[in-house]
Amino acid sequence: METSESGMLATSKNEKTTKTYFFKEAFSNEYSAFVKYYYAIRENGYIQKIFKDLENMGDCCDLYKLPNKLDFDSLNSYFEPLSPVKSNKEVLCASRLLKLETTPQKGRHLVARKAIPRNKILINEQPSVIQVNPVCSCVGDSKSIYRCHNCGVGMKQFYICDGCNVCIFCSRACLIKANKEFHIYECYGFQRHFWSLDDTDYSYLSLRIMLYGASWNFRFKGGDSTVYGNKDNNYPFINKLKTNFVEMSFEHINKILYSSARNLVYLITKTSFFHPFKNRSDLQELHLYIGGLMVKHYCQAQMNNIILKYPNYNLDFGTVSGSAKAICPTISLLNHSCAPNAVVIVYTDYIVVKSMRHIKSGEEITICYSEIDALLPYTERNLITREILFFTCDCKNCLFEKKTGEAPFKCPSCNTGYATYLEEKNGEHVGYCFDCDCTLNLNYLSEHFKTVDVCKNAYKKSKSMIPIFKIAEIYGAIFPNTSPYLLEIYRLLYDHYYSLGDQPLEVLKYGILLFNIAEQVVSRLYLRLLISKVRFIMYFTETKYFSKIRSVSEEELQTMEIFVHEVIKTKGDLEFYLPQEKMCFYKDVQLKISQWFSNMRVVNKKK
* Per-residue pLDDT tens over the stretch 221-276: 655 578 898 888 999 999 999 888 988 999 999 999 999 999 999 999 999 999 99
**pLDDT over 80 at 392, yes or no:** yes
Lowest-confidence region among 352-361, 376-385, 574-583: 574-583
What stretches of 216-249 show up as alpha helix (H) in DSSP?
A: 235-238
Predicted local distance difference test score (pLDDT) of residue 370: 84
- pLDDT (0 to 100) of residue 80: 53
- What digits encode the pLDDT tens for the residues 345-360? 887 778 899 999 999 9
d(CA 116, CA 79): 23
Between CA 37 and CA 45 the distance in angstroms is 12
- 456-471 pLDDT, tens digit per residue, is 898 888 878 888 889 9
- Asked whether the whole model's pTM tops 0.75, one would answer yes
Long-range interactions of 168-174: CB distance < 8 A, separation 24+: 168/134, 174/148, 174/149, 174/150
pLDDT at 605 over 50: no
When pLDDT is averaged across residues 175-185 and rounded to a whole number, the result is: 94
Q: Which of 62-71, 188-197, 416-425, 511-520 has the highest mean pLDDT?
A: 511-520
What are the structural domain ranges in the chain?
486-607
Which tens digit of pLDDT belongs to each residue from 100-147?
A: 999 988 889 999 999 999 999 999 999 999 998 766 666 555 556 778
Q: Report the candidate in 143, 141, 183 with the shortest Cα–Cα distance to residue 166.
A: 183
pLDDT value for 7: 62
Antiparallel, parallel or unpaired: β 418-425 and 409-410 = antiparallel
Widest pairwise Cα distance in the chain: 97
Average pLDDT of span 183-195:
89
Q: How far apart are CA 122 and CA 84, in angstroms?
A: 10
pLDDT score recorded for residue 137: 64
Are the C-beta atoms of residues 27 and 293 closer than 8 Å to each other? no
Question: Is residue 66 scored above 70 in pLDDT?
Answer: no
Judge contact between 315 and 277, C-beta under 8 A. Answer: no
Mean pLDDT throughout 305-309? Answer: 88
Phi/psi at 408 (nearest 5 deg)? Answer: -85, -10
Element holding 262 (H helix, E strand)? helix 250-270
pLDDT at 69 over 50: no
Q: Each residue of 415-443: pLDDT tens digit?
A: 766 778 777 777 777 777 767 777 877 78
How far does CA 22 lie from the centroid of its chain? 31
Convert 244-261 to b/e letters by CB count within 10 Å (16 or more is b).
Answer: ebeebeeebbbebbbbbb
Q: Over pLDDT 70: what percentage of the chain?
A: 86
Angle at 509 between CA 452 and CA 532, to 5 degrees: 105
Average pLDDT (303-310) is 88
Lowest mean pLDDT among 33-37, 55-59, 237-241, 354-358: 55-59
Average pLDDT, the chain: 83
- Over the stretch 524-579, which tens digit does the pLDDT of each residue have? 999 989 999 998 888 888 777 776 676 777 787 888 888 888 998 998 898 888 87
Q: In 240-341, which ranges are E strands?
A: 306-311, 320-327, 335-336
Instruction: Give the Cα separation of 555 and 376 in Å (integer).
Output: 31
**In the prediction, which pLDDT does 589 show?**
82
